Amino acid sequence: MKVSIIIPCFNYGRYLEECLANLLSQTYSDWEALVIDDGSTDQTMETVRDWQAREPRIQYFYQPNSGVSAARNLGLKKANGEFIQFLDADDLLSGSKLQLQVDFLKNHPDVDLCYTENHYFEDGQPEIRYPDQEFLGRDWMIRFSGTGAYALEQLILNNLAVVSSPMFRQSLLSHSGLFPENVSHTEDWQFWLQCVLAGAKVHYLNNPDAYTLIRVHRTSVSQQTQTMRYGELHLRTWLNRRISECPFLSDPEKTFLSILNENRKRALFKYIMYHGPLTSVRHLSKMAVIYPWATVLSFYLKALNFRRKTINKIHARTRHHYPVKRTDTRTA
């Protein structure tokens, strides 16, 4: 039962050697690796061609730069395996990950998708691992097994996992559809939601030997985090529509999930307004796509007041800890 490993790559040729060598160390050998070159201008093609001369399981496909979703979709169209595994070109899999997930899916034909733990490491230091990309020790992952309204509730609370954590049956694609190519930074979250909205049964594989390793490039984390917040607002707007159209949800379930999703959306909107660049017209225009300008203006004024109070509190604490010296001007 073949696993199709789809590896989108845009100018990450310097990591491909390690990525492909990692696949050779897998305990499960019935796999094909599809490297999708998304218009790279580095040594990506040369690296893959060199590997192909030694390893027939590796395939190479080129497309003009179209984004990671288009690259993954091309891989999905070319895949021949019964199971699908995504892997970014700079990331790694534990040695027995494929074997453990294939065994589980073979033994549980009712499960469409199973996912594992994920760990983050700083580029150049793979031996030191963290549960989050900010390296704060924040365990953000949800761990659940289920389907229907329960699975949707979990995915409303958080994304499922990093994109290289799940393995799923290729047959699921006929119901879920492909990756959204007009979405950035939350495209994997939307894809997992599409799977669950199509009726997929999800299972968390609780095995310490099955995990994926995500390389973090520290210089880009803060900007990625802000961009992902914008993307999440659009994702939740899209999800509200899909919940109302979902055929297997009862009306009470639709109401509950819609309220939960809207509350999360509004809380995120408030956070971005309170902490975002209030002097940026571009930023405010992005927010006005999510809610009407009247709502944006209301939150804008609240954010100004919040920042004023925050600054006053900081000044008050400073005066308390560092009292001003008074000069005694009295004469002897």
The token pair at 328 is 């005694």
Q: Could you read off the pLDDT of 186-216 as tens digits, one per residue?
A: 999 999 999 999 999 999 999 999 999 999 9
- Amino acid at position 165, single letter: S
Q: At what angle do helices 293-321 and 251-275 cross, to 10 degrees?
A: 50
Q: Which of 161, 49, 37, 31 is nearest to 89 (CA)?
A: 37
Q: What is the pLDDT of residue 124?
A: 85
Tell me which DSSP letter residue 126 carries.
Answer: E
For the chain, give the mean pLDDT: 92
- The secondary element (H helix, E strand) that includes residue 167 is strand 167-169
- 223 pLDDT higher than 60: no
Mind listing the domains of the chain with CATH numbers?
A: 3-216 (3.90.550.10), 228-317 (no CATH)
Residues 93 and 213 sit within 8 Å (Cβ to Cβ): yes
pLDDT for the residue 319 = 60
Assess contact for 82 and 173: CB atoms under 8 A: no
Structure token digits, residue 150: 């329960």
Q: What is the mean pLDDT of residues 2-20?
A: 96
Residue 95, pLDDT score: 97
Q: 49-79: per-residue pLDDT in tens? A: 999 999 999 999 999 999 999 999 999 999 9
Q: Residue 329's pLDDT is what?
A: 45
**pLDDT tens-place string over residues 135-152:** 999 999 999 999 999 999
The residue with greater pLDDT, 126 or 241, is 241
Distance CA 167, CA 207 (A): 14
What single string gives the DSSP state of each residue in 10-62?
SS-HHHHHHHHHHHHT-S---EEEEEEEES--SSHHHHHHHHHTT-TTEEEEE
pLDDT at 32: 98
Say whether pLDDT at 330 is over 60: no
Residue 117 CA, chain-centre distance (Å), reads 14
| Closest-CA residue to 44 (of 89, 82, 110) | 89
